[in-house]
Structure 1
Amino acid sequence: MLRIRTFSLAAAALALGAVPALAADLSYNPSPLVTAPTGFTWTGPYLGAILGYGWSDFDVRNNLAPATPTAEGGKIGVYGGYNYDLGNNVVLGVEGDLNIDNVRGNYGFDGSVKQNWDGTLRGRAGYSFGRVMAYGTGGGAVSGATVSKGGYETDNTHWGWTLGAGVEAAVTDHVTARLEYQYADFGEQFYQTGPLTGQNVDLNTSTIRAGVGYKF
């Protein structure tokens, strides 16, 4: 009887010793965590369409009859560029645009002024709040204008500079919307206003415009 009890105790001890080994063999190894998708980034090229309204001053530099005729009207155009998101909320980029203008005004009793088109090539520096970015912009600008006076009509191309600021929001990962203000000084050009006379005209504009773009 003593031998049987001894054998039973030994078998029980052996079984209990095997439990940890069996538990180790049946242990669960979790699979690696799936990496979450990255958040929105402003980095990448983009294209868009512009709709705006402009006010232009045609400063006539003439000692005999100086004047500053004003013009205003609508603008429509396209823009495109590239942004690079540096992190820490800083976004840098370069952008260009080209617009058809219908900015008109009267000049004296028999004259008129008109801004026909304009374009810019600018740098941009922005501070992002996730999907919303406030930015400043500046660079070179060019515009075509027409001055009519005394039966003479002259077309000229003005070259200058522009500065502006705006806010842009990512509606989706690819569609953006913006509202922007730009001031441009297009410099001075000579316009003929008579058979032997002419006037130097300095052109500067203010434009408020909205845009919708697609980020690739």
Structure 2
Amino acid sequence: MSKLLLGAVAGSALLLSAPVFAADLNEPIPAAPYVAPVSTAFDWTGAYVGADVGYSWANKAASRNKDHDAVIGGVFAGYNYQIQNNIVVGGEGEIAYGGADPLATWTGAVRGRAGYAFDNILVYGTVGGLVGQGEMKNDGRNNTRTHVGYQVGAGVEAALTNNITARAEYLYTGTNDRDYGSAGGEGDLSGNAVKLGVAYKF
């Protein structure tokens, strides 16, 4: 008799708890919290400073009939802004020096840059204005002249780390002719240059 009573009590308990279990099974499972994906692409936005070195080959200093080819070097600084994921625009200023017989030059240029970024590789074009000072020497005579003109070119820049970039760049410079008088006749600062540079991005 007691066994029958215990069985009835257990059966009643199971019947009463079944709706509770069913209700638990029907409740929606809480969704996992959303975690935004973290981009691993390099961000080109920011200021930078750097230095470069290269080689220029140029037009002849007219009355001397000599090329003023030279090793050149300079320092530069600028700012890039990355828009629409891959488009990079910015501006850059550079001071450079190149010296070789018969013409040594100082130049200062301000150029705009625009390019396309493939993650940490940037392919870009550049164009801007330039002011330069040429110094021509001949038989003890030494005259300096100021030139104005433009620069246009293209380059490839690679981000080696989050802060260090390296670049290879070609530039064409076009300036006005100036008469250097007894030091050697007419001359200009026009010509081509290829340069390698390294920059620190802030």
TM-score class, shorter: 0.7 to 0.9
- Name the residue aligned to 1:94: 91
Give yes or no for the alignment of 1:126 onto 2:127: no
Shift in Å at residue 151 of structure 1? 4.2
Give yes or no for the alignment of 1:205 onto 2:194: no
| Alignment partners' CA distance in 1, 2:80 and 2:195 | 20
Unaligned runs of 5+ in 2: none
Q: Which amino acid is 2:192 matched to?
A: S
| Alignment partners' CA distance in 2, 1:29 and 1:186 | 70
Are 1:167 and 1:178, in contact at CA under 8 Å, matched by a contact in 2?
Answer: yes
- Name the residue aligned to 1:37: 38
Are 2:121 and 2:158, in contact at CA under 8 Å, matched by a contact in 1?
Answer: yes
Q: Which amino acid is 1:201 matched to?
A: G
Structure having the higher strand fraction is 1
- Name the residue aligned to 2:14: 12
Shift in Å at residue 135 of structure 1? 0.9
- Name the residue aligned to 1:55: 57
| Alignment partners' CA distance in 1, 2:188 and 2:164 | 38
| Alignment partners' CA distance in 2, 1:175 and 1:131 | 11
Q: Which amino acid is 1:36 matched to?
A: P
| Alignment partners' CA distance in 2, 1:192 and 1:151 | 13
Quick check: 164-173 or 81-90, which moved more? Answer: 81-90
| Alignment partners' CA distance in 2, 1:88 and 1:37 | 14
| Alignment partners' CA distance in 2, 1:79 and 1:136 | 16
Shift in Å at residue 201 of structure 1? 2.5
Unaligned runs of 5+ in 1: 61-65, 106-112
Q: Identity rate of aligned residues, in percent?
A: 35
Are 1:57 and 1:68, in contact at CA under 8 Å, matched by a contact in 2?
Answer: no
- CA RMSD in angstroms comes to 2.6
Deviations 1:57-97 (A, max 9, x none): 2442xxxxx55421222122111111111125211111111
The 1:163–1:212 alpha-carbon spacing in structure 2 relative to 1, beyond 3 Å, is same
Are 2:109 and 2:129, in contact at CA under 8 Å, matched by a contact in 1?
Answer: yes
Shift in Å at residue 202 of structure 1? 3.0
The number of aligned residues is 198
- Name the residue aligned to 1:110: none
| Alignment partners' CA distance in 2, 1:174 and 1:185 | 33
After TM superposition, the score normalised by the length of structure 1 is: 0.80
- Name the residue aligned to 2:79: 82
Q: Which amino acid is 1:80 matched to?
A: A
